[in-house]
Amino acid sequence: MNTADLGLPVDVPSTALFTDHYELTMLQAALRAGTADRHSVFEVFTRRLPEGRRYGVVAGTGRVLDAVENFRFGAGELGFLREAGIVDEPTLQWLADYRFSGDIWGYPEGEVYFPGSPVLRVEGSFAECVLLETVILSILNHDSAIAAAASRMASAAGERPLIEMGARRTHELAAVAASRAAYVGGFATTSDLAAGFRYGIPTVGTSAHAFTLLHDSERDAFRAQVDTLGEGTTLLVDTYDVQKAVRTAVEIAGPKLGAVRIDSGDLLLVAHRVRQQLDDLGAKDTKIVVTSDLDEYAIASLAAAPVDAYGVGTQLVTGSGHPTCSMVYKLVARAESADPKAPLVPVAKKSVGGKASVGGRKWAARRLDADGVAEAEVVGLGAVPEELADRQLLVELVRGGEVIAREPLDTVRERHIAARDALPLSATQLSKGEAVIPTEYA
């Protein structure tokens, strides 16, 4: 049960100060200038994928919805802003009543995206939308980076399950978000109990080298673990001598030993040797789990090895070299006045150095070839071409300030698998290249 994603009671602090100072100074100036109530459209997109990545993965949408709901300025937040002199009293009074009342559309979580894809569209008054910029980007940039790394690792692993175990390699709260994003990207389990509690992700774990070192002998350690957790447990066999440890493990647990874990050495060579030894000892069903600073390339290199599961930590929670997606939140349209009937005017930043943006409220659709494989990401303004009407990507997430699109995390995970499978086969190649399909502007 994914309690948080289903909207069940979970304590979440206010997200109102998860923002940048200048969001509030812009608000104060807009209130004074009379432009704060102009209807505005902001879009989240990235101008390019990280180097070598063939597709991106939308992750963190469920957390964005939580953040928007909890964007409230209570007495503590307002007191801090007042004492620090960040904004004036009229602005503080406006913030005290803040509730996002606009609309949010976006790519459904788990979907893939490409350069220029409008992965999120936030619409309402300028004042209420501009405040959400930092927290939205913080969540989407982090979670989508982790999910993209997880997706590449899952592709490299094939049918072999992946265990997320990076909590000790990142901030304690980021670790929980990383576990969630990894699950979206294809990981099967996590070692992080907070992620299990918060999101219902299956948790796993048995023992570390410290447990073996605690005991007078490896045999004593294995005996204690098997007596407590049963013969189906996973024994860590590389504290001392791997060959001796495997023999001892089977002697104590018997041929029904669940698994052995290898955490060091030449994993390809050691895995083959351990598999042969297990088979010779009659433990033909005992699985082999490998860890030790794996990334997608190391996982791919072990494809021919007799490995049954991978545990991944550091490289996963740091995005495997790309800890952010460089998503931006840009104003693309705004009304000519605060009149509710005033028409929207497309606006765009004009800049050198590749930082220009495309104005106007956009739609997005994915065109498929005759075989049902994606061949282009089409982004446009105005009416959607009839041939793309049933291929539109944006879905309604928030209507009039009310969240309407929460869904279980397992649904998101399944969506990602389907979206990735609909891409050209080259999307799963680990060799560097451009986006697997082009972005076309209609």
Q: Write out pLDDT tens, residues 109-118.
A: 999 999 999 9
**Where residue 433 falls among pLDDT bands split at 50, 70, 90?**
confident
Would strands 309-312 and 328-335 be described as parallel, antiparallel, or unpaired? Answer: unpaired
Lowest mean per-residue pLDDT among 206-210, 236-240, 355-359:
355-359
Cα(320)–Cα(146) distance, rounded to whole angstroms?
8
How crowded is residue 52: how many other Cβ atoms within 10 Å of its Cβ?
Answer: 13
| pLDDT, mean of residues 29-39 | 97
Residues 6+ apart with CB under 8 A from 418: none
Would strands 162-164 and 120-125 be described as parallel, antiparallel, or unpaired? Answer: unpaired
- Which structure tokens are listed for 396? 């309604």
For 364-417, the pLDDT digits (tens) are 999 999 999 999 999 999 999 999 999 999 999 999 999 999 999 999 999 999
Cα(201)–Cα(252) distance, rounded to whole angstroms?
31
How many H-runs (helices) and E-runs (strands) does the chain carry?
15, 18
| pLDDT, mean of residues 231-243 | 98
Q: What are phi and psi of 287, to 5 degrees?
A: -90, 160
Cα(281)–Cα(52) distance, rounded to whole angstroms?
44
Cα(152)–Cα(211) distance, rounded to whole angstroms?
33
Is the pLDDT at 355 greater than 90, yes or no?
Answer: no
Average pLDDT, the chain: 95
389 SS3 class: helix
> Domains of the chain by range and CATH?
21-131+327-441 (3.20.140.10), 170-319 (3.20.20.70)
